[in-house]
Amino acid sequence: MFFDSLSKSAALNWQHGAEIALLVAAAIVVIGLIGELRSMVRWTTWVRWATPLVAIGVAGELLADGALFGASERVQTIEDRKLLVVEQQEANRDISQRS
């Protein structure tokens, strides 16, 4: 998987970027939905753009969610490994103090 090779800072950058992309995609969906509501009134130009905007926004949300999930998982893996190293060092220190 792509995210498995990222450093912590790169994964955090991806995570942040995905969060921003998710907000932008959600805003696009909202604009499209408003356009679809306006289509009931007499805004024919909005009707042409509303449905594609919703589709584009939903696709953007899907991609952003996937990137956010992958980056978050990578950050969690890195933090888990760091915690494991600290726990092992602490266990080794306890063993050496008992001897």
Q: How many domains does the chain have?
A: 1
Cα angle 92-93-95, degrees, rounded to a multiple of 5: 65
Q: Domain for residue 1, yes or no?
A: no
Q: Model pTM?
A: 0.79
pLDDT at 41: 61
Q: Distance between CA 17 and CA 59 in Å, rounded? A: 16
Domain assignment of residue 2, yes or no? no
Query: Do the beta carbons of residue 68 and residue 15 sit within 8 Å?
Result: yes
For position 44, what pLDDT does the model report?
65
Q: pLDDT tens digits, the chain, 99 residues: what are they?
A: 789 999 999 999 999 999 999 999 999 999 998 888 765 666 666 677 888 999 999 999 999 999 999 999 999 999 999 999 999 999 888 788 876
Note whether residue 77 is domain-resident: yes
Are residues 71 and 14 in contact, defined by beta-carbon separation less than 8 angstroms?
A: yes
Residue 3 forms part of a structural domain: no
